[in-house]
Structure 1
Amino acid sequence: MSVARLGYLGFKASDPDAWNSFANNTLGMMSAAKGKDSDRYRIDSRAWRLAVHQGEQDDIGYAGFEVADAAAFSETAERLRQMGCDVMDESDDLKADRGVIGLVSTIDPSGVRIEIYYGGTELYELPFVSPVGVSSFMTGDQGLGHFVLATPYLEQSMKFYVEGLGMELSDIIDWDLGPGGKHKLHFFNCNRRHHTLALLPVPALPPKLLHHFMLEVGSLDDVGRANDRMERDSRIMITFGRHTNDHMCSFYGVTPSGFAVEVGYAPRDVDRTWSVVRYDSISMWGHKFIPPE
């Protein structure tokens, strides 16, 4: 039994005020009710999807994976314990702060806090409205989006996410970074979204574990307008392009914490006919890296 979707992400940021402006005015997220020690943002009917905590790491703080119900919750937690993971039953206070019914946590092989939960809070009575007019963010049964972790512990991480969380390999890209050599990116799904997680193998723990997170928007115009806002603020990291594996049309911008955010549209889904393959290139066209000034 797999986790169902990526439910939320938490970041540790040295400048939460910059994140507040970025989340609202650049990405088009809607401010949500604050957490106990965080600013939170909505992109759909859920009470929150992104939390920003004060911290000097400027990196991922935690990732929350949602399961369907109490049975899936218990089964996932037990499977992780059987693998030797230290799984902690979280307090009622933290469950209330996250707005969930059940919550456990563990640590992945790279040191990222992973939370498993069920029973997230819906706010249909308070519709999501983007402050910059984003038509919609594509979430639903696919969840928040995806994120990419850099790790020197590829095999251990694959075991954790595949055997522990029940994810499946979508495909592999041999990403040629020029003088940096080739890196085998591994992409994993847990629903029809092509990938909810990707792992980028690196020789040693990097300064930032999070390479990027992705938000899927409802129209190509939403991507274009987000690109304009990023360009206005000199935040474009990788130009508009189309990926080989998920076929998403997207671009990448720099967040206030230095890692990237991908904004994309119209990827293809994983279906029952899916076969695992490999690619020699990450993009069909576009996606040119812009060196920082």
Structure 2
Amino acid sequence: MATAGGGDCDRYRLDSRAWRFAVHRSEQDDIGYAGFEVANAAALTETTERLRSLGYQVTEESDDLKSDRGVLGLISATDPSGVRIEIYYGATELFEVPFVSPAGVSSFLTGDQGCGHYVLATPDLEKSMAFYVDGLGMELSDIIDWDLGPGGKFKLHFFHCNRRHHTLALIPVPALPPKILHHFMLETGSLDDVGRAMDRMERDSRIAITFGRHTNDHMYSFYGDTPSGFAVEFGCSPRDVDRSWSVVRYDRISMWGHKFVSAE
């Protein structure tokens, strides 16, 4: 469901928040920025001071940008991959206008887990981990050694900042690829939501990776192509991080399924 976003931007809802995703008209055709929420003004000040103490340049954003984003407080910094990261508090709620999916999705799992996850390429894993772990306070969930055969081997690192298994994953690469964003994920309320989405994407020949179940978060999902060249993962029923969680590693990214679909 699109919401008003000005002449160069469309914004989309997933829940009671005024918006969760923004699509800007731009030649970049990649991730433009990512937002992370803190509880209040004191938490925003604490995050600002921590990032600056680690040597990161932090901008306290203008009232105009805060108004555009619909938040009470907003800072920004740039991560080691060159992605603009915005940290905010006081987002706009629209409880009085219930969210209704135009495609009939029963619900999206958001709330205290945020809106999903995203996966970025990084040319310097240590610097990226310092930014997200030391700077933003994330914790490592686990690591997968992903063997793509002729496509190479990658050591994926997954990070959480709430009960969701991962809000961020990093793919170490020698140099940044054409797309920094590998994919982003939306979690739905039921397996039927996922199946119906697969039907819609198959009609448009947009399936990139088939239905499967991941080893680490146990999510049932598939991946669809976007016109921008990165993917969107659509899934349900993962496991959460709990107090007994310990970091482990995996040799495979999926228990079954998740096969790449060759372009014709």
Measured against the shorter chain, the TM-score band is over 0.9
- Which residue does the alignment assign to 2:183? 212
1:218-257 CA deviation, whole Å, 9 max, x = no partner? 0000000000000000000000000000000000000111
Name the counterpart of 2:49.
78
Partner of 1:63: 34
Q: Identify the structure with bigger relative contact order (alpha carbons < 8 Å, sequence gap 6+).
A: 1
Say yes or no: does 1:136 pair with 2:107.
yes
Match of 1:109 among 64, 71, 80: 80
| Aligned-residue identity in percent | 80
Q: Distance in 1 between matches of 2:55 and 2:9?
A: 31
1:133 partner letter: G
**1:44 and 2:15 correspond:** yes
4+ long deviations beyond 6 Å: none
CA deviation after TM superposition for structure 1 residue 34, in Å = 1.7
User: Retained in 2: the 8 A contact 1:170–1:188?
Assistant: yes
- Post-superposition offset of 1:206: 0.9
CA distance in 2, matches of 1:146, 1:51: 15
Counterparts of 1:1-293 in structure 2, within 5 Å, are: 30-35=1-6, 37-293=8-264
Q: Deviations over 1:149-178 (max 9, x none)?
A: 011111100000000000000000000010
TM-score by length of 2: 0.99
The CA distance in 2 between the partners of 1:36 and 1:81, in whole Å, is 34
- Structure 1: give runs of 5+ residues left out of the alignment: 1-29
CA deviation map 1:159-217 (0-9, x unaligned): 00000000000000000010132110000000000000000111101111000000000
Contact kept? 1:241, 1:285, Cα under 8 Å? yes
Taking the aligned partners of 2:43 and 2:64, their CA distance within structure 1 comes to 22
Q: RMSD between aligned alpha carbons?
A: 0.8
Aligned length: 264
Secondary structure class of the residue paired with 1:160: helix
The letter for the 2-side match of 1:146 is H
In the TM superposition, what whole-angstrom CA distance separates every residue of 1:250-276 from its partner, at most 9, and x where no partner exists? 000001111000000000000000000
Q: TM-score, normalised by structure 1?
A: 0.89
Q: Equivalents in 2 of 1:201, 1:290: separation in Å?
A: 24
Unpaired runs of at least 5, structure 2: none
